Structure formats: structure tokens, C-alpha cells
Structure 1
Amino acid sequence: MNFSILDCTLRDGGYYNNWDFSPEVVTQYLNSVASANIDYVELGLRNFAKSGFLGAFAYTTEDFINTLTLPEGPTYGVMVDAKTILESGMSIEEAIDALFVPAVHSKVDLVRVAAHFNEVEFSAPIVAHLKKLGYIVGFNLMQAGGKPDDIIADKARQAVNWEGLDVLYFADSLGNMDGQEVQRIVTALRTHWTGPMGIHTHNNMGKGLDNTLSAMEAGVSWLDTTVTGMGRGAGNTQTESLLAYLDKGDSKYQPKPIYELVIRHFEAMQKEYGWGSNLLYFLGAQNDVHPTYIQNLLSSTHYGTDEIIGAIDYLSKLEGTTSYNGAVLDTALSFSDSKAEVTGSQDAQGLFDGKNVLIIANAPNTEKYASAIEMYIKNTQPVVISINTTAHIAPELVDYYAISHNSKFLSESKLYKGLDKPIILPKCRFTTSELSELEGVNLIDYGLEVVKETFATQGTYTTTPYDITTAYVLGALLESNVNAISVVGFDGYAQDDVRQQEMVDILNLYHAHEKSLEITSLTPTSYPIAKGSVYAPVK
């Protein structure tokens, strides 16, 4: 008989990693399923914005899909829950139009609608409108196992009368079916439905593959699988297992690309989910810097390699660093000279009135989600403030840079010479020679004072509890009536890391300020702030 395989790894597997697959895995996956001659590939879910961070494949927006290189061969699809449409607060047509473009304008050709039995009677307009947009439309009956024959048959009766349904699926959502149950459900559905039928199995009892094969024998022609069975609960029928079984006969499918994919990437993911002298001492010695400076820098959790190299470079220009002086190190790292007068200008007052502000921190997630962040900026046009420089976001998308002469500036000072964007900084914390290096750059002078357990604004400067540029930026924003604040790259640290507690202290003190706003992180974060997603569709 003729049948098709639909691989839904990126959609069902996303329940284990919040739909946040690495680009390397995605590229290898897409190439492998195409090389294996898989018929249909479900790229992910289609959703409205949800609270908390979810990766790209939880939303699978058109913008994101257009960043993917989709090999020729498979038909690509997405899934939408009927609940997403029915509970959107909009009419069915409006909700679908908000989530989908006409198929002719999309790389997606297939849309599957997943519904509970009590949602079936409300789903006809969903199927009809998706068909009107030009899609192949599938409908998945979830949790079909154990339902009486007459109820199953009645759902099929309703589906027969819908306009535009191409394939009717049933799902072993609880993973407790056996071959006999599969046959019973197929028979009940065939009471009315004569078109193509599909099955989505789960492997809770180890019968996923057996149930898929039983469905094939019963005439079911759309077969769902995932690589290594990656999916909710115990997972699904394994793509590689089904292809291995089919390879015994005359099969068009090529299992070897999937085998390689499993070995290279998915076996490790399955295990994860549930599945002495060093260079810095060398550089210190080369620059006549006492090794105790290096030792103290390395022993601190505050400083990364780039910052330490910057501090070494700074120390090498000072006299007397062949012997250790803790005060010299403090000056090199923060320029926190208690004798320096805190000064600033009024330039920051009202600077961001009525603006939606996006703050970018230079963290691993900034690099990981760089393309999505750039797309978000282009689509929403916020005022973008980069905390120090960022190598991962196009400079033309950044409106302001903020620096406070802490260790980050030490490692990046040379980069600022080429910037043609305004820099927010406290001039009182810079030497004349350092400021001369920024000659010709628009400098917005906003002062900074560091006082423990204090977060306040004074019009011309802010007082923060730590010498951390994030705190400085939040203080500067308090001088304006900002509309909204979002952040990316606010990854956070381990709970026992002192940097984590410092940031938590900063955020708590900031939120205690009468003019503070809710801060929403659009990339994964461990900080106690609101969580969203840079992949969520923009209203």
C-alpha cells in the first residue's frame, strides 16, 4: 500500500527542550530527513505569544521559517492546537489570519490541527479557513484511546462534512494502545471517514512501533515518527526504527542519514534530557604585572578571559605593578576612586520618554539567538541600548551604548573608537586621556556613584549598589518616562554564584523604586524577572 512518513521531531521533541534546538542540530536534521526521503516534516507549533521563554519551534513564525534553508523533497508543515484558535479572543478567521499567511506566500504547505474530542464540533471553521488559505489540512483527534466506538464514529461523521479536510489523524496520546485498540479505532473512524487516515503513537508501553505497523496493516497511510522517539512523555515511534523495519523490503526510504543524525546529535541529547601555567599568567609576566594580580583576577567569578586580558593591558600601563597592591587592582577594574567627585549632566533626563527600550547584554544567549534578536529589532523598532559592546548584533541596529568604566570597558576600550552611536557614560569615572580616545563620539554624561544597598537617581547621576553597568543603565532609564523595558542576554549565573546574587539585589532594589517598570527577558534567564520570547509573534 502507499503510505507516507511524517517526522515531527522539532515539534513533539520540543517538549523536552522548550523547542530550543541549536542551529547545528536543526541544519543536520533538515538535511538528514530530506536525504532519507521523509515525506512530511513538521517544523513546530504555531502559537500566539506565551509567558516564559520558548524557543523558535514553539512559534515557527513565518519570519523564522524564512531564515531556515529547507532542502527540497519533504513537504513542510506546522501544527496548531484548536484551543489556540478557539480561545484567542478573536473570531476563528481573525485568529487564523493573525497566525498564518496564504500558503502561496509560505514555505509551509501543511497545517495540522490538534484537538481534544470536546473541541471537534467547533473546529469545522478552522479547517475551512486553513483550506481557503491554500494549505493541506490535517486534523488530529487527541487521546482517542479508550473512547467508545460510537463517540469515535461520531467525530468522523462530523469531519466528513467539513470543507477542506485532507487527512484525519488519531493519537495515542497516553501511550497505552495495543494493536487491537488501533484496529478498533480505525474501524470506528471508517464508519464514516473514507479519506486518508494517520496515526500518532506514543511509546509509554514500548508499543509505538508495533502500533504504527498495526495501523499500516489496517490501511492507515500517514505515519508519525520522531528521531530517537524524541517527544512528550516516553516519546514516539522512532524514525530510525521504522526505517530500519521498512529497509527489509523494497522501500524508497534511506535510513542511513537518520542513523548518522542519531549518532552525531540525538543520542547525546537523549542522555541529557531524559533522556596549571596558563596563557593569562604568561601575558601578565610579559607585561611585567605581578602574578598575584592575575591570581586574584582568576580566582574571582566576576571576570571572563577578555576582561582579565583587558585588566592586564591596563595594569601594564601603570607604574609599580611589579609588586602587588590591592588598591591598584580595584582602580584598574572599576576606577572607583572614593575621592572622585560624582558629576553628570541633565542629558539623560527625558531621553527615552514614551519609548519601548530593549537592553542588550553580551552573553552566550545573545550569540545563540542573534538572528532572532535582530529580526525582533527590525520588526518592533525599539530603542536599543547595548551594555558595553556586542559582537553578535549588527551595530546599525544599536541606538546607544552604555559603559561605566568597569572591567568590561577595560577589555573593550579600543572598540569604542570606531563607534558612531551615542555613548551613555559617567565622565567622572574616566581619565582625560581615556575620554580623548572617544573624541568625536556623542557622549551623554550621566554620573555614577556606587553605594551598598542603595538604588537612587539624582537627575544628573544614579547611585547603585554595585559597579555593574546593568544597574547604571536601569538608573539612567529612571530619568525618563519609559513605556516598556525588554532585555536579551540576561542569562544569569548559578544560584551560588556571587554575580547572581548581586544582580538579584540590583533588580530587587530597582523594582522598589517608585518609577520602576516590569522588565521582560526575551531570551532564557535565571533572574527573577518576567519572561517572554524573542520568537513570539509581534502584535
Structure 2
Amino acid sequence: MIKLLDCTLRDGGYYTNWDFDKTLVDQYVAAMEALPVSYLELGYRSLPQKGYYGEYFYSPVDRLKALKEMAPNTGFALMIDEKNADPQVIPQLFKPLQGICEMVRMAVAPNKIADAIVLAQILKDLGFLVAVNIMYISKIKLEARFFDQVNQGEGFVDFLYLVDSYGGIMPKEVGEKIRMAKENTPFTIGFHGHNNMELALANSYTAMQNGAGMIDATVTGMGRGAGNLKTELILTYLQAQLDWRVDFSQLSHILPFFEEMQRNYGWGTNLPYMISGAYSLPQKDVMDWMGKRRYTINGIVQAMTQSQQKPSQAYPNSSTFNIPKPSGVLIVGGGQSVATHLPQIRRVLAANPDWLVIHCSTRNMAYFTQLANPQVVCLTGQEGKKMQKRLNEVAELNLLACVLPPSPRKMGAFVPPALENKIMELEGYSFEHSYPDGPLALALQMAWNSGSNYVGLIGMDGYQQTLHTDFELRTESQVVLDAFGKSYVGKWEALTPTGYQMPQGSIYTLA
């Protein structure tokens, strides 16, 4: 008898930072209790990680207790990431969940099976069912040595999952690998499919036909990157083909809420995700790029395909350009406040003609024509294409240089042919952060490199977070600002109103 595991909150948390509306979660859990779903994977259980992760990344015990009262007949599961798990703290994390959570699943890289088995033994001793989820199955060969390693977990491991991490495996290969795992191990075999190539249902069906005993799905396919097999789809199939009893009124009650989130966050396949699946490329990069409006789908596709052929083109380092040391730097963002305070901004620059102006967006570039101040434009994503369309405006800038992210660049940047002689690339960063291709990071580093002891920022209004893209962009900007502020020894401040946490000054105090 095939079993179904729904992992909407755990896999969908990649879009929401593992925060979900309490009422929605209550309704979702109640619906799953009324449906033929054997297990609910509610989230991760983790040691504290750097950065913000929400409720269902840490899965507080009291919250799980309350949910268990709503679904006493459905098994609860949680996931741990083997690479972040410490065997010494596993009892501390999971002992409080005895009697609440039935299963612990581990995300495991193929070369870390031995480490996973150590964790499995500890979890089994605590009384949990244990699943080992082997990732990247489209890139591994299931040979005798592989099964010898996996079978060391006999007695500790209950489920062996094959995970199509890239969403590009074909049904024939799924059938072969599920069958091999079934024939060479004593475990119940599970399958977790991603939907990059829109094969999640076909691959899950093939897995079931070849001996898989457990299949993963999520409501509306919500999940990392292109998402997963849809719970409502697999339940429809199971009722039609295997006579499962499905109360579709339970699904119809919760589906509109998840469909609304899908319109906001935008999971589901598209051309970049299809290519990442076809070539077994990491979904994380695509998800990061799609989460920022600075990249077009065409640009993402080109970056993905070209990255398999050649490294990004190198340009002269910024150190080879003659940038006079300014008494101050003005970084210009894309916010509306630039237009609001433009007369005063231009007065300040006219009074300080040696100040370096750095544009981290081309949106407000036209306001800075016919000024004596030397100017630099950060070229990331499609900013170069925007400049190409506005060369008349560019000609009226005192443009010293256009700066690209350091090599090698994951994402390419379009360089206007007319500006080839002004292109330079950053050598690297003097402050630690996670966004080397981000325009604000480039701008702040160029300000650092200028040698100035003063940096003012305008147009840093902040995103309203009404969309997932707003959240992504706002998070990136705040992380970069925090990192810069910890390392820069000069004075820096926002000179127009900002929604970011940073020192606040006023453009009206400067001239």
C-alpha cells in the first residue's frame, strides 16, 4: 500500500522563510487529517542558524503539540539537514518531541551517507522512524558500493528516499533506480520529485510502479524552485485509479489560500527552471535570480547555459582606473525620494564638485546630467541594456567608469558596446556579505575603494514587501548595509528618508 507524505510547510518554507499564517496552518493540518495522507512534514528542526528563519524552521514544541491535537491520526515528520546536524545535540533537539513527532527525515548528500547513519542510530534510539533522503539522484550511480554504504543503516533506517533535487530526471531512470534500491536494500523506498520538467507526476507514478512505498507531495506544488508534485493532483489520481477515498471538499477549502500565495511568491516551473532540470543545475541559483527583478528570464537562461561553456569575461580591474580621491561619495539608489529632494541634492553636488557619484541603479541617472562630479554606474543584471537605450543621457554624465561584479560572475551583465572603454570590474570586497553580484554591494565597495571618509546614500527608500521580490531585495540590501557598517571606519548615513536600518542624516544639512 502506497503512503503519501505532504511536506508543504517544510518545502514551501523556502519561499516564506518558514513563516506561515497561524489560521492557515490550523486549517491545513485539519484538512490533512481528513484526507488519506499518512505523514505531514511540518518543517525543520535545527540549531540556531545565521540569519532569519521562521517558526517552521525551528518547529517549537508547544506549537507542534497544539497541531497534534488537531491531527491525532496523522503522523508528524520533521527534517534535519545532515550537514548542519551535530550528533551531540540531536537528543536535545528531538527528545522533547517524543510522542508528538513520529518520523525524522535527513537531507543527505551521497558522499555523507556514513555520517547520516550515525545520526540515524541516535534518532532510532530516541524512538523515531528514520528516513534518509539521498539528494541529487540524477547525478549518482546506484552501484554495489553505494548500497553497501546505505545498508549499514539496517536496524536504524526505515525509509530510503531518492530525491530528484534538480527536477530533471526522466521516468525511465526513475524506474531503474527505484527498482535497484528496492532490490538491494531492506528499506521502504520513497521518492521526492521536483517539477522543473513537469515530470513530477509521471516520475512519481513510475516510482510507485517500480516499488516505491512512499511519495512526497505539496499543496499546489509549493516548494523550492519550480516546486513539487501537487498533493491535489496525486490524490485525484489515487482516487481515480486506486479507489482511494478523498474528501475533495477539504482540499477545495484550503486551496484558494495557497493559490493566493502562489500568485505572490511565484513558484512553479518556467524556462530557467526547465533548463536547470535538464542540465542538473542547482535550483538555488535560479530561485535567487528569479527572486530579484534585476534579471530577465532571457538573462538567466543565458547565464545558466554559458556557465556550462566558459567563464565570464574579465575586464580591467578598478585599480587600473584613475579615480581621484574625493572628499565625499554620494550613492544613488532607485527610490522616489531622489526626485523629491532633487533640487537640494544638486545644490550639494554643485558645492562639492569633487564628490564621487555612484549609481547602484540607472533609474535616477537622468537627474545627474550636466554636473561636474565624476560618476560611476554599477552594471548588474539588465542595467547595461537600460543604459544602451539611454545613451543620449549617458553622454551628458561626467561618466568615469561602469563597474561590474568581480570575476567569476554567476550572472552575466550586458555591456553597451559604446561604453566598452569605460568598463572595469571589482577585484573583490573589503567587507563580508553574501551578495557579490548585487548593485548596492558594488556601490559600497567602490565608495570604500575611493578612500573617502564620508559616504552619503540617497534613494534608499526601502521596498514595501508587498511581493516576494520586495522581500528578497529588501533582505539583500539590509544584509549588505549591515556588513558594510560593521567594517567601514568613516562616516556613512542615509541623506533621504529610508526604510532600512542605518545611520540617518539629512541632505539639507550639507549645503
Compute the TM-score of the two structures, normalised by the length of structure 2: 0.51
Q: Which residue of 2 aligns with 1:222?
A: 214
Displacement of 1:181 in angstroms is 1.0
Does 2:41 correspond to 1:42?
A: yes
Q: Distance in 2 between matches of 1:257 and 1:223?
A: 22
Indicate the SS of the match to 1:99: helix
Amino acid at match of 1:154: R
Contact 2:44 2:79 in 1 (8 A): yes
1:97-496 equivalent positions in 2, closer than 5 A: 97-101=91-95, 104=98, 106-150=99-143, 153-162=144-153, 163-275=155-267, 494=464
- Could you tell me the percent identity over the aligned residues? 35
Displacement of 1:228 in angstroms is 0.4
Q: Distance in 1 between matches of 2:70 and 2:247?
A: 19
Q: Distance in 2 between matches of 1:111 and 1:268?
A: 30
Q: Which residue of 1 aligns with 2:311?
A: none
Q: 1:253 to 1:116 in 2, by over 3 A?
A: farther
Displacement of 1:210 in angstroms is 0.6
Q: Which residue of 2 aligns with 1:19?
A: 18
Aligned CA-pair RMSD: 2.6
Q: Which residue of 2 aligns with 1:5?
A: 4
Contact 1:225 1:238 in 2 (8 A): yes
Deviations 1:270-301 (A, max 9, x none): 101004xxxxxxxxxxxxxxxxxxxxxxxxxx
**Long gaps (5+) in structure 2:** 268-461, 466-473, 487-497, 503-511
Q: Which residue of 2 aligns with 1:28?
A: 27
Deviations 1:170-215 (A, max 9, x none): 1000000111010121133235213210000000000001100000
Q: 1:20 to 1:103 in 2, by over 3 A?
A: closer
* 18-27 vs 95-104, which moves further: 95-104
Q: Which residue of 2 aligns with 1:418?
A: none
Q: 1:252 to 1:137 in 2, by over 3 A?
A: same
Displacement of 1:253 in angstroms is 4.0
Structure with greater helix share of residues: 2
Indicate the SS of the match to 1:37: coil
Q: Which residue of 2 aligns with 1:433?
A: none
Displacement of 1:50 in angstroms is 1.6
Deviations 1:65-93 (A, max 9, x none): 234343222101101111121xx4xxx1x
Q: Which has the higher contact order (CA 8 A, sep 6+)?
A: 1
Displacement of 1:528 in angstroms is 3.0
Contact 1:37 1:74 in 2 (8 A): no
Amino acid at match of 1:9: T
Q: 1:126 to 1:175 in 2, by over 3 A?
A: same
Deviations 1:299-324 (A, max 9, x none): xxxxxxxxxxxxxxxxxxxxxxxxxx
Q: Distance in 1 between matches of 2:70 and 2:234?
A: 23
Q: Distance in 2 between matches of 1:253 and 1:223?
A: 17
Indicate the SS of the match to 1:200: strand
Q: Distance in 1 between matches of 2:104 and 2:20?
A: 21
Indicate the SS of the match to 1:170: strand
Contact 1:159 1:165 in 2 (8 A): no
Q: Distance in 2 between matches of 1:190 and 1:142?
A: 17
Contact 2:121 2:156 in 1 (8 A): yes
Q: Which residue of 1 aligns with 2:435?
A: none
Q: 1:215 to 1:100 in 2, by over 3 A?
A: same
Q: Distance in 1 between matches of 2:81 and 2:206?
A: 27
Runs of 4+ in 1 over 6 A off after TM superposition: none
Deviations 1:88-136 (A, max 9, x none): 4xxx1x12123111654x4111101110011112222100000000001
Displacement of 1:61 in angstroms is 2.7
Indicate the SS of the match to 2:95: coil
Indicate the SS of the match to 1:186: helix
Q: 1:7 to 1:257 in 2, by over 3 A?
A: farther
Q: Which residue of 2 aligns with 1:528?
A: 501
Amino acid at match of 2:158: D
Displacement of 1:146 in angstroms is 3.0
Contact 2:179 2:211 in 1 (8 A): no
Q: 1:269 to 1:493 in 2, by over 3 A?
A: closer
Q: 1:50 to 1:257 in 2, by over 3 A?
A: farther
Contact 1:114 1:142 in 2 (8 A): yes
Deviations 1:242-288 (A, max 9, x none): 0111111443341514531453311111101004xxxxxxxxxxxxx
Indicate the SS of the match to 1:247: helix
1:91-102 equivalent positions in 2, closer than 5 A: 92=87, 94-101=88-95
Amino acid at match of 2:82: A
Deviations 1:135-183 (A, max 9, x none): 0111100111131232xx4333222222311111010000001110101
Q: 1:181 to 1:54 in 2, by over 3 A?
A: same
Indicate the SS of the match to 1:212: helix
Q: Distance in 2 between matches of 1:526 and 1:60?
A: 30
Contact 1:247 1:255 in 2 (8 A): no
1:492-531 equivalent positions in 2, closer than 5 A: 494=464, 527-528=500-501
Q: Distance in 1 between matches of 2:146 and 2:250?
A: 36
Amino acid at match of 2:175: Q
Contact 2:28 2:254 in 1 (8 A): no
Displacement of 1:7 in angstroms is 0.2
Q: Which residue of 1 aligns with 2:65?
A: 66
Q: How many residues align?
A: 280
**Rg (Cα) greater in structure:** 1
Contact 1:44 1:58 in 2 (8 A): yes
